[in-house]
Structure 1
């Protein structure tokens, strides 16, 4: 997954309300994301750098041989049988253009995740430190999805915005 802004996310494309307006501001966009996180339609997190990230998805924990730089668990709901992994560029395009959607690039990135509808806990583990050299051949992020429900995030994880 490409990341030119330092953010990745997991989105329910069937429930996330993406369009903010043609003249959106970064503040307005993040207010929308915060609102949608409270509704469990998106999880957005800071990556710590602009990179080409490898994202692994599993219902199992992180391989114990891989280092966990940081880890957080957040809630997301599935309403249309799928979630997608997105970068902030995809979210901003969908925010600016009414005819654009957060799932426009899912086939390009292969980021579609088929799941039964319901509530999930997503544990996001960052396995590489963006300020250090790559220390392993595994993924940069591991997303573990398990059925369950917890309170929504109050803000974007690992972000100073």
Structure 2
């Protein structure tokens, strides 16, 4: 795989959750009357199928996100870090916020990829299994200590343990 570096300059997060999704494999529609509990059951089921990773951000912010096959810049602080598995089935992953996930859960004609052009959040990758290491580099409850990204997502070919629940979540 050729080296890649992608930046999302401003991802709105009004719910305290971000995610990485294969928009072609993730089953998004839950129903018009979905509940948060039902939605998180769907998300956790999809995480076990490696179609999505969803994590808590610790706050509601405008996030800067770097995606790369390289590790975090060693000059940046890592507040917390976790790795999870995701599979690319049709050459693309999309970074999403929970608002996008809930819209796709409620409306059959919406998908988790609907906002990719708004945020510049689509990423082309070869099909296959990946390990995504998510590093949170800023604490939303503290003053910024650097001008770098808030999150760094490192994607490398490989497999790792499944996520059984949404990490860094208080729900």
Length-normalised TM-score, structure 2? 0.93
Q: Deviations over 1:31-88 (max 9, x none)?
A: 0000000000000000000000000011111000000000000000000100000000
Runs of 4+, deviation exceeding 2 Å: none
Shift of 1:150: 1.4
RMSD: 0.4
Look up the match of 1:93.
103
Tell me which of 4, 9, 14 is aligned to 1:4: 14
Shift of 1:29: 0.2
Look up the match of 1:40.
50
- 2: CA distance between counterparts of 1:160 and 1:48? 9
- 1: CA distance between counterparts of 2:51 and 2:145? 33
Tell me which of 70, 82, 92 is aligned to 1:72: 82
- Alignment partner of 1:24 is 2:45: no
- Alignment partner of 1:154 is 2:154: no
Tell me which of 108, 122, 126 is aligned to 1:112: 122
- 2: CA distance between counterparts of 1:54 and 1:102? 19
The gaps in structure 2 that reach 5 residues or longer are 1-10
Look up the match of 2:4.
none
